[in-house]
Every structure is written in C-alpha cells, then in structure tokens.
Structure 1
Amino acid sequence: MTGKIILTCALTGSIHTPTMSPHLPVTADEMTTQALAAAEAGASILHLHARDPETGMPSARPDDFMGFLPRIKQSTDAVLNISTGGSSQMTLEERLAPAMAAQPEMCSLNMGSMNFGIFPLAERYEDWKHGWEQPFLRATKNVVFKNTFADIEHILTALGDGCGTRFEFECYDAGHIQTVAYYLKQGMLKPPIFIQFVLGILGGIDASPESLIFLKSTADRLLGNAYQFSVLAAGRHQMRLGAMGAVMGGNVRVGLEDSLTTGAGRELAPDNAHQVARIRRIVEDMGLDVATPQEARKMLDLKGGDRVAF
C-alpha cells in the first residue's frame, strides 16, 4: 500500500450493446469526449475498443480506431491501451489489426481460450435498438473465445517484440496466471508484468472477495515480485472489489465496458468519467494516491506516447 494506484478506464468494450445504455460511447466523437473526461477525472490508462459508428456493433476496423486515437492522444497524456480481445466472434487477424496499425504503448492480451458467456443479457430486454444485438449476444452460448498458446506467442512476438508494446495480461481464472508464469519462465515476458484479474464473466472465475484473494495468492506464488495487478469486476461488483484490490496493494479498472451502472444500485452511469471519479474518491479516502500517466509509464516500463504510430 505504499505505491500509487493506476486507474484504468475501459470505455466501451464489446459486451454491452446500445440498447442497454444511451451513455455507451459509439462514435469517434463520443469516444473522444468520454476518453478525455475520464482522463481528466483521474484515469491514467484508457482501454479502447471501437464500434461501428452507425450500428454500435463491435468493430476491429483500424479506420474506426483511427477516428479517435489521434484526437485523444493530442489532448491528453493518458496511456492508450488497445484491445487485442475485440470480441469472441472476430478472428485473431481481425482482433490484431487495430493494434498492429497503431503500435500502441500497451495492449490487452487474454491469456487463454475460454467460454465467454454474455448470452444471458439477450433475455433482459424486449425492444432492441439494432437487429444485430440479440443474435450477437445469443451466439456466445456456442462460441469459444480463442487464444491458444500459439496465438498468445504470435501476439507477444508481433506486438511485443515487433512494436515495443507491453501488455495488460487479462486473467479470467487461475489457469491464465499459470500461462503468464510459463512465458515468464521461458523468457518471453520481462518484468514488470501487469496482470488484470477479471472477475464475474460467465465462463471465468466469479466476482467475490474469496476469488480475488485466491487469484492474488496464486500470482504471488507463481510470479513473486515480478508482477503488479489490477482488479476488474463485472457489473455491480465493480466498485467494492476494485476498492478491495486497492487495499490489497493493487490497481483498479472501471468503465462502461465492465459495468453500466454507477456502482450503487442499478442507476445507469451518465458516462465513464463518473465511474473514474467515484473510484478515485474511494481510494483517496483510504489514504492512497492515484498515479499520473507519467508515473504509470514508469511503473509499467512503457515506451512512451511519442513512439506510437498514430
């Protein structure tokens, strides 16, 4: 608890759909506006997906990312972290295309193949804004998110070795931490390793204090002092498990990708900045300090915003 807390904001993702919240950013203008507000509220890392500006469907088109990446970079010093996860219904090549084009400081990297079930959301709404939404959600009952060992090695080589990009290793269960430890032992990863504990996705570990303690003890045993961690808890668990992670010496991720609510009841969050400001207030009230973007770069040994391709 002596270090500073890195706050990550995940702006839009590929789980929630436009029907679920009018505040979910879709267009380049919306992404830019919400990203800058989240950075101003205290997020030192902005985790970014893109969407089709007409339909809101998750997009892996580099042009959709380039609609907001340069604009955000010009107006904030925050670290821009591009997803390589995309959605479970994209190919590996599609998922990697935006990051390969942008060569960012940081990318997310899911550390294994898994069932990624968001199909229960398909039954929560009756009137859909777009025709693609309900079939997209239902499809996850029969689709596996694929990141084999070969896929992971390809990403580490192409983006890590090839572009100087470092990673947010997304671990949805303890086996994913084992995979991180394997690649550390093989010399394909260099400390500091940044692990995102992802709790609450159907197909992964549940969002509970016990699960968070288990993931951290597993990482401590396997990785020792070679890693730092952050906590991402889906839905209503976002704020309480994020606060718990901060108390345990970790960092925190919030944002509309992970939860659409304010964190208190079911009231929709008006934007991403609202969640960032709320978790910042919580951690500062506990006597902890929030890292600036430059402090986050130093903590994670990032290459710097002047060495990206946008």
Structure 2
Amino acid sequence: MDTFVTCAVTGGGETVSRHPRIPVTPRQIAYAAISAAQAGAAIVHIHARDPDTGQQSRDPELFAEIVSLIRDSNVDVIVNISCGMAGDLVLSDAPGHGLAGPGTDVLGPVDRLQHLERLCREPRLRPEICTLDCGSMNFGDGALVYLAPATYLRRMAKHIRSLGIKPELEVFELGHLAFVHKIFAEELLEGVPLIQFCLGLPGSAPAESFVLDAFKQLAPSESIWSAFAIGRDQMRFVALAAGNGGNVRVGLEDNLYLEKGVFADNDTLVERAVSVIRSMGGSILTAAETRLKLGLGRPSPSR
C-alpha cells in the first residue's frame, strides 16, 4: 500500500477568524507548504489570500510569490494550484437587484486561469498540477452556487493541457464522475486521470464509506485517485482511502482541529495522516516517487 499525501494548506474559506494560525500572507502560505512537505506531504495544494483582508484572492502575483518561496526552499514537493475561483454566483432575492448578489465572482473559462498563465511565464514557477472542479453545485446551504458548466470545463481542460500542467479532477458528486469519463473519452486529458474525491462539504456527497466505494467503482478504471472529507471526518477518511487503495488529502483547508479543542497545523495533520497509514502497514510516497506514479516531469531548478 503505497500512498501519497496531499496537504491543502489554507483554502479560501472563512476560516481566518476561526483558527489563530491560518496561513494568510505569501510567506506564511509558503512556510506552511514547506513544513507540510517536510512532515511527509508529497503534494501541496495552494490557494492565495489577500494579506490585508485574509480573503481568498485570484491575484497572480500572490501565487507567483508563494510558489517562488517554495521553490527557493529547495524542499522537493509537487505544487498543485487551485483553479476553483471565479465561479461563485451568490443569488440575490432583493427586489430590483437582479440575480447576482454581493460576493458574486464569475469569470469566463480561460480568464479563470490567469494565475496559471502568470506562473508558466517563468519555467521554475510552472506548477505540475492544478485543480479542475468537474461540475456546478450548490456550495454550502445558503445562496452560493458554484458555476462550472461543461462548455467552460472543456475549454479550461484544453488550456491547462496547452500549459503543460496535469489537472487534478475534483469531483463532489457522482455526476461529476460522468463528466470525467466524457473528457477522458474525448482525449482532453493526457495520461492517467488524477481524481480527487471531495466528500462531506455542505451541498456535496456525504462522507460515508459506501459513497467512497461508489465513487471508486464509477471512476475510470485507469485513474489514480485520492480522497478527503472535512472536519472531524478527515482522519477517518485517511484510513478509508488508504485502505481502499487510494491516496489522501489533509490540511487546514478542510479541517482545523487535531482533536477536540486542539487546533491543528498543517504539518501536524500530515504527521497524523502518515502515522495512520503506517499503522495500517502502508508506506508513504515521496515527491519524487509520486512524480513517477503520476507521470509528471521534474520541476525546473529553483536557480
């Protein structure tokens, strides 16, 4: 049982006020990624935040600063950049104000990838992986709808491929897996599909073992998959995913606590996941070993 660990170090959610050590600045996010890698994570999943407000940011220069700091550390880790921004439609029911309410942030398909294009202008900053959310969904139990229609996703997949980056296909519902099959059959993906099963978010599939089994059965047989669940289910799903032949994701994007009443850090969550996997008789893949498994090229030298 060879397993790679991804650490999602900060996310873009409203967690800054709920945890005293959520990484916000580029230096904090890069340090969190480096610490997670040193604890055993082969992949770090990166969002950027506005250093002044703590809110999620699409600013390409923030992403460039984060990745530059990671590369300069000379710690070997695979960088996975979030492309899940600019699809937020917050529906308004205020009379005379139209459908889009405050907080709406929606761009076209290629415009959602501006930060990737910025990173790819410098070979040493080009990420090896980026995310592609494979369908629209209600996000949470309020008025937020995440928009990712098939026409957008096909254009995004083509553009990501043209940049030489491997997409990690984020699936939150069984219907999203149906779309994965379509773009795989349409040869919009190169190599073996890399899929992330995202469970337990309000509005998505529940964090249950039978749901994980269904996702696994319906994924393309050629695929390499990873899974995570949020909050208190995070470590339970480390064991479930690894025990079912998959890979795992942990980190402060998905869970703020190491145990009840004890705030986690990214490195402590990675250490706990590594311990769980090893206690089951599994081994932890390094970044170099994960690169081989996923068919990735080596990153450009940092200098």
TM-score interval for Structure 1 and Structure 2 normalised by the shorter chain: 0.7 to 0.9
Instruction: Give the secondary structure class of the aligned counterpart of 1:252.
Output: strand
8 Å CA contact 2:43, 2:78 repeated in 1? yes
Aligned residue number for residue 265 of structure 1: 260
Tell me the CA shift for residue 303 of structure 1: 2.8
Number of residue equivalences: 278
Aligned residue number for residue 36 of structure 2: 38
Query: Are 2:249 and 1:253 equivalent residues in the alignment?
Result: yes
Which of 94, 101, 105 is residue 90 of structure 1 equivalent to? 105
Tell me the CA shift for residue 267 of structure 1: 2.3
Query: Are 2:143 and 1:145 equivalent residues in the alignment?
Result: no
Aligned residue number for residue 295 of structure 2: 301
8 Å CA contact 2:27, 2:69 repeated in 1? no
* 2:151 alignment partner AA: A
Tell me the CA shift for residue 266 of structure 1: 4.1
* 1:298 alignment partner AA: L
Instruction: Give the secondary structure class of the aligned counterpart of 1:152.
Output: helix
Tell me the CA shift for residue 71 of structure 1: 0.9
* Alpha-carbon distance in structure 2 between the residues aligned to 1:26 and 1:305: 25
**In the TM superposition, what are the counterparts of 1:44-123 in structure 2 within 5 Å?**
44-75=42-73, 76-86=75-85, 88=88, 89-93=104-108, 95-103=112-120, 104-117=127-140
- Which runs of no fewer than 5 residues in structure 2 stay unpaired? 89-103, 121-126
**Higher fraction of helix:** 1
**In the TM superposition, what are the counterparts of 1:150-169 in structure 2 within 5 Å?**
150-160=151-161, 162-169=162-169
- What are the superposed Cα offsets for residues 51-83 of structure 1, whole Å, 9 maximum, x if unpaired? 000110100001111222111012121011100
- Which runs of no fewer than 5 residues in structure 1 stay unpaired? 120-140
Which of 275, 282, 286 is residue 281 of structure 1 equivalent to? 275
**In the TM superposition, what are the counterparts of 1:195-214 in structure 2 within 5 Å?**
195-214=195-214
* Alpha-carbon distance in structure 2 between the residues aligned to 1:278 and 1:152: 35
- What are the superposed Cα offsets for residues 63-113 of structure 1, whole Å, 9 maximum, x if unpaired? 111222111012121011100002634324564221221132110110001
* TM-score, normalization by structure 1: 0.86
* 1:149 alignment partner AA: A
* 1:186 alignment partner AA: E
8 Å CA contact 2:16, 2:22 repeated in 1? yes
* Alpha-carbon distance in structure 1 between the residues aligned to 2:167 and 2:284: 20
- What are the superposed Cα offsets for residues 179-203 of structure 1, whole Å, 9 maximum, x if unpaired? 0011111111233111100001111
Instruction: Give the secondary structure class of the aligned counterpart of 1:305.
Output: coil
Tell me the CA shift for residue 284 of structure 1: 1.0
Aligned residue number for residue 125 of structure 1: none
8 Å CA contact 1:17, 1:56 repeated in 2? no
Tell me the CA shift for residue 307 of structure 1: 8.6
Aligned residue number for residue 130 of structure 1: none
* 2:163 alignment partner AA: C
RMSD: 1.7
Instruction: Give the secondary structure class of the aligned counterpart of 2:169.
Output: strand
Which of 263, 286, 292 is residue 286 of structure 2 equivalent to? 292
8 Å CA contact 1:195, 1:230 repeated in 2? yes
**In the TM superposition, what are the counterparts of 1:212-227 in structure 2 within 5 Å?**
212-219=212-219, 223-224=220-221, 226-227=222-223
Aligned residue number for residue 21 of structure 2: 23
8 Å CA contact 2:171, 2:177 repeated in 1? yes
Structure 1 residue ranges (4+ consecutive) displaced by more than 3 angstroms after TM superposition: 92-95
* Alpha-carbon distance in structure 1 between the residues aligned to 2:145 and 2:301: 34
- What are the superposed Cα offsets for residues 20-43 of structure 1, whole Å, 9 maximum, x if unpaired? 111110011211211111000000
* Alpha-carbon distance in structure 2 between the residues aligned to 1:187 and 1:307: 31
Query: Structure 1 residues 266 and 173 mapped into 2: Cα distance closer, same or farther (>3 Å)?
Result: farther
8 Å CA contact 1:199, 1:206 repeated in 2? yes
